[in-house]
Amino acid sequence: MTTQSPLLDAMSIRKRFGGFVALDAVDIAIRPGERVGLIGPNGSGKSTLVNCLSGAISSDTGTIRFDGRAIERLPAHQRTRLGIVRTFQIPLPFTSMTVIGNLTIPLRFAARHHAVGGTTNDVEQALLILEDVGLRDKAHEPSAGLTQVELRKLELARAVAARPKLLIADETMAGLSNSEVDEIILLLFKLNEQGIAIIMIEHIMRAVMAFSQRAIVLVAGKKIADDTTDVVINNAEVVRAYLGE
């Protein structure tokens, strides 16, 4: 296996809702350890793409290969086990559980399937992850009582606990203050250094610019640009789509 072979390789993904074409033959490829920003105006199909990749919904046509395996027919939990893990725009914690309890779910149900972490038990692993995201002191508190930014961190921590090779971070920063955005960006960099490829879906351009090596732009269900971040940002078509003229 060479370093050039992509971790994720999705080809001509199509999805229609009734008469509305949400995704129109979108290709997307991610290399191991890459940092990619996925941007586009509201309703451009970003969330649909995330849902198709993670298995929350199935695409109408197209193939998705991950780690050399065809996965487009697998249910979401099996994709998670293979290493595609997503977070949700609106955090969806398991509210009846403590913060650490939230992490034990992916540790037990996903991470076990690729036996990372050797013999250490779930609680120790969970505490290490919480340490990383800065929630260690909240470990035994009920997840229902967390603040917005803490919920975002829990969302990320829970995703990390599934031991992803590819993390899809769906608007993890929407509605956060500037300093909180910086906190999350740093956190994502830290995860990336551990070898996790990351797709960041974000409206906050500052975050995308700071974080991603490459940017993919969706407009009206079509991919209109896919290049290094500074090239994309100066692309006339992208500017037009964003500024709208």
Partner 1 sequence: MRRIPSWIWPVLVALFILALSRVVKNEYYMFAGYVVLQYIVLASAWNILGGYSGYVNFGSAAFFGIGAYGAVVLDKLWQPPLVVAIVFGGIVASLVGLVTAYLTLRLRGVFFAIATLALAIVLQTLVMNWDFVGGPLGYYSVRPDSIAGFPSYVNYLFVIMLGLALIAVLVARAIELSFIGRGLAAIRDNELAAECCGVPTLRLKVFATMVSGGLMGMAGAPFPYYITYLDPNSAFSLAYGINSIAMPLIGGMTHWIGPVIGAVLLAVIQQVATVTISSELNLMIVGVLLISFITLAPNGIVGLFERYRQKRQRRLST
Separation of alpha carbons 134 and 167, rounded Å: 19
Interface with partner 1, residue 86, by CB under 8 A: yes
47, 221 in Cβ contact below 8 A? no
Cβ neighbours around 218 below 10 Å, total: 26
Q: Which of 11, 25, 29, 56 binds partner 1 (CB under 8 A)?
A: 56
Separation of alpha carbons 185 and 167, rounded Å: 14
User: Please, which of residues 159-178 interact with partner 1 by CB under 8 A?
Assistant: 161-162
> For partner 1, which stretch binds (CB under 8 A), given 92-100, 124-132, 176-184, 236-244?
92-100
Which CB atom, from 80 or from 212, has the smaller least distance to partner 1? 80
Q: How far is the CB of 231 from partner 1 (least distance, A)?
A: 33
Q: Which of 88, 133, 215, 217 binds partner 1 (CB under 8 A)?
A: 88
Interface with partner 1, residue 147, by CB under 8 A: no
Q: Which of 77, 190, 206, 240 binds partner 1 (CB under 8 A)?
A: 77
Separation of alpha carbons 174 and 236, rounded Å: 26
Please classify residue 36 by burial: count the beta carbons closer than 10 Å to its beta carbon, then call 0-12 exposed, 13-18 middle and 19+ buried: buried
Interface with partner 1, residue 233, by CB under 8 A: no
Q: Tokens standing for 188?
A: 């994502």
Interface with partner 1, residue 120, by CB under 8 A: no
DSSP class of residue 43 equals: T
Tokens 């779930």 sit on residue:
122
SS3 38: strand
Interface with partner 1, residue 187, by CB under 8 A: no
Interface with partner 1, residue 104, by CB under 8 A: yes
Interface with partner 1, residue 121, by CB under 8 A: no
Interface with partner 1, residue 97, by CB under 8 A: yes
Amino acid at 232: V
SS3 142: strand
Per CB under 8 A, residues contacting partner 1 are 54, 56, 75-78, 80-81, 85-86, 88, 92-97, 104-106, 108-111, 113, 158, 161-162
